[in-house]
Amino acid sequence: MTTPNGMPPLNRFPRMMQEYLTRRLRENYRANHDRVMGLKTRAEALAYCADVRGKVEQVFGPWPERTPLNVRVTGELDRGAYRVRKVLFDSRLGFTVSALLYVPQGPAGLRPAVLCPCGHTWDAKAGDTYQRHSQSLARMGYVVLMFDPLGQGERLQYPDGKGESLFGPGPTYPSVKEHNAIDCQLELTGDWLGRWFVWDGIRALDVLLGHEGVDPARVGVTGLSGGGTMTAFAAACDPRITMAAPCCWVSSWQHNGINEEPIDAEQCPPGVLAAGLEHSDLLLARAPNPVLLLTEEQDFFDQRGSLEAFERLRHVYRLLGAAENAAYYVGNGGHGYSQGAREAMYAFFNQHAGIVAPNPEPDLIIEEFISLRCSPTGQVSDLPGVKGVPAFTRERSRALTAVRGAPSGTELVRRVRELLKLPERNGPPDYRILRPWTPRGYARPHANQCVLETDPRYGAQAVVTKLEDEYRSARPPRGAGPAVLYLPHLSSDQELREDAFLRELQTKTPAFFACDYRGIGESRPDTCRPDSFFHSYGSDFHYASFAPLLGESYVGWRVHDVLCTLDWMQSFGYDQVHLVAQGWGAIPGALAALLDQRVRRVTFRHAPRSYAALAEAPLQTWPFSAMLPGVLQQFDLPDLYRELAAKDLSLIEPWDAAQGASDAGLSTKGIKQ
């Protein structure tokens, strides 16, 4: 796609979202750091840790019901010094976890235990790295449980029926893409993928502690990368864990954000930054339990953040009189559980578990993937009675439909405002007038653009285009009568030039405005990785994923931009608006149209039929930036559409869960309904 003069499409503010997020994260991070380092006494440190525990419970809970584990052993390998038991258990009714239990052989007696969550690898518990520290710990006398995360190993949630994921074959990212796809649907119902991960770990710990001979006073947890995340989450959420060694994760959400490093959906606890917490707080929740931060100098998780996290840990541990319980290791390598890191973990756990054993890693034999398979086909989804997360989400969505009713009128408006958490607006926003660029070939010869300062504290902007018959270098002229405000799917520039429906509308409407709300069109991010906007871990996901951490939503940010645009238009006399939107733009458009009486008429093309349809589809392709967390607990889009009928709503060619039947590119064959 090019402009009429052959140049690429214009995008004047590709770093606006990055600078906006950076300002917000730095403010949160500095407040957290100052609060922790400002603690002066043991009593203050104890009170702070107790406060963190309460906040952790609010962020991660509520937890599901503890249902029967239904543990079954499907096989065993005898390796002399230890046995490997292949285990299946149910963390929820019908939700099966595949795991390996490493059991030392030797004299009877109480043994320490270690829970090992896996990181983001295709083969999960059967991966080389995970076998190495499981085998080594078992040889030293620990009972070890290593389990597959959902979406990896034997637990694909979108299986293709041939042992692979619908997102493609291994080794790493295709299966991990499942995580973000699952979370898009979960968030709509007020749930979060990380809660499923942590609950799997809590139930895995039930299995581990239920094994004969395990000492409940000596229970460690360690994992790499995504497993390092779950190590910190588990240590914060489960008081039975007595020592922890997260590897290559603990840094800060601030450093992830400012370094343009998208992270997995389960690593983004909703409300965690709003609660004032950072990575280090997850480990302070159980201080002074022994904790070892394992890091690597060349890791993409910022070493600066890791060192500052350890500074906070060490400060609190000193106040608690347990400085020796906090330790730090840094290797010279990149992202991975290196042998040096593993040996540092062995020494640390041995010290605190009272184990006398050689710390150097012994010679090991890495098992073949198939020999560690717990299920007959290598996928637990093939077992009778087993459901995937999409099936649970579908059931949850339908249950919410039955209880929330069909809100309307002032009750619907109240629910919308409560969910969006919109900031206060004080009159029309300040704005800047952009100098004209080469004409882009609209139905009118000139396009005057203004940048609206929709959140001046942090630098958020909306770019508004007004089409004119003649060029104006000053502010937009005052008008009277109706106006059109267009909200694009992806780009006002492209869509106003190329869409025949919109070109006709431009010619018929004397006052025509178009708003590129934040993250779209003129402010579409060009960050994270080249051409990554639509990628599962791309720039659109990156900024959308941080909004819930702040207790907000990308949808809410965009609705605020639209409302600010209406304030600005009114300041020039345009207070009777026909709001037109397409695709992604229809979501903030519908919410803004409900809330603002200046919108008198509404036209949507390619709007989603309902959020319930997205939550209940076997697989949906709308982006995370279009999701409104918790929406199905309060209302659904059809509730908005019914209310907007009074504003002459026109719904043209609504889209399904695949953004139009041809857009998904993925078959849902193999997904249990």
Q: Does residue 668 surpass a pLDDT of 70?
A: no
Q: How high is the pLDDT of residue 665? A: 38
Lowest mean pLDDT among 61-75, 143-157, 381-395, 658-672: 658-672
Angstrom distance (rounded) from CA 455 to CA 560: 9
**pLDDT tens per residue, range 238-277:** 999 999 999 999 999 999 999 999 999 999 999 999 999 9
Contacts of 565 (CB under 8 A, 6+ apart): 452, 462, 464, 485, 513, 515, 517
Q: Kindly state the tokens that stand for 384.
A: 């009778």
Angstrom distance (rounded) from CA 229 to CA 221: 11
Q: How high is the pLDDT of residue 107? A: 85
Dihedral sign from CA coordinates of 372, 376, 380, 381: positive
Element (H, E) at 305: helix 303-319
Q: How high is the pLDDT of residue 662? A: 35
Report residue 173's pLDDT band, with 50, 70 and 90 as the boundaries. Answer: low
Angstrom distance (rounded) from CA 492 to CA 464: 9
* Angle CA 335–341–345, to nearest 5: 135
Phi-psi region of 609 (alpha: psi -120 to 50; beta: other; left: phi over 0): alpha
Q: Which amino acid is at 208?
A: L
Angstrom distance (rounded) from CA 486 to CA 351: 65
Angstrom distance (rounded) from CA 592 to CA 561: 9
Contacts of 276 (CB under 8 A, 6+ apart): 28, 31, 32, 35, 55
Distances (CA, A) of 37 to 31, 81, 434: 10, 46, 45
Q: Does residue 670 surpass a pLDDT of 60?
A: no
**CB–CB of 584/558 below 8 Å?**
no
Q: How high is the pLDDT of residue 669? A: 44
- Residue carrying structure tokens 């900031």: 423
| Residue 663 burial (CB count, 10 A) | 13
Q: How high is the pLDDT of residue 471? A: 73
**pLDDT tens per residue, range 558-578:** 999 999 999 999 999 999 999
Report residue 672's pLDDT band, with 50, 70 and 90 as the boundaries. Answer: low
- What domains appear along the chain, each with residue ranges and CATH number? 23-396 (3.40.50.1820), 405-652 (3.40.50.1820)
**pLDDT tens per residue, range 593-619:** 999 999 999 999 999 999 999 999 999
Lowest mean pLDDT among 140-144, 278-282, 360-364, 575-579: 360-364
* DSSP per-residue string spanning 158-212: SB-SSSSBTTB--SSHHHHHHHHHHHHHHHHTT--HHHHHHHHHHHHHHHHHTST
Query: What is the mean pLDDT of the segment spanning 138-154?
Result: 96
Beta bridge partners of 99: 87, 147
Contacts of 99 (CB under 8 A, 6+ apart): 87, 88, 89, 125, 145, 146, 147, 148, 204, 207, 374
List the one residue out of 67, 102, 66, 98 whose CA is nearest residue 85: 102
**CB–CB of 536/497 below 8 Å?**
no
Q: Does residue 480 surpass a pLDDT of 80?
A: no
Dihedral sign from CA coordinates of 533, 534, 535, 536: positive
Q: How high is the pLDDT of residue 175? A: 67
Q: Does residue 410 surpass a pLDDT of 70?
A: yes
Query: What is the mean pLDDT of the segment spanning 527-556?
Result: 95
**CB–CB of 673/391 below 8 Å?**
yes
Angstrom distance (rounded) from CA 264 to CA 225: 10
Q: Kindly state the tokens that stand for 350.
A: 């041995």
Q: Which amino acid is at 501?
A: F
Query: What is the mean pLDDT of the segment spanning 178-203?
Result: 97
**CB–CB of 192/231 below 8 Å?**
no
**CB–CB of 446/467 below 8 Å?**
yes
Angstrom distance (rounded) from CA 608 to CA 638: 10
CA 548 to chain centre: 8
List the one residue out of 468, 585, 574, 575 whose CA is nearest residue 515: 585
Q: Which amino acid is at 28?
A: N
Report residue 1's pLDDT band, with 50, 70 and 90 as the boundaries. Answer: very low
Query: What is the mean pLDDT of the segment spanning 111-123?
Result: 95
Q: Does residue 534 surpass a pLDDT of 90?
A: yes
Phi-psi region of 648 (alpha: psi -120 to 50; beta: other; left: phi over 0): left
Q: How high is the pLDDT of residue 572? A: 94
pTM equals 0.95
Query: What is the mean pLDDT of the segment spanning 368-378?
Result: 95
Q: What count of Cα atoms within 13 Å lies in the side-chain half-sphere of residue 608? A: 28
Helix (H, G, I), strand (E, B) or coil at 265: helix
Beta bridge partners of 652: 605
Element (H, E) at 99: strand 95-104
Element (H, E) at 563: helix 554-570
Compare 665 and 348 and report the one with higher pLDDT.
Answer: 348
Q: Kindly state the tokens that stand for 279.
A: 């990575």
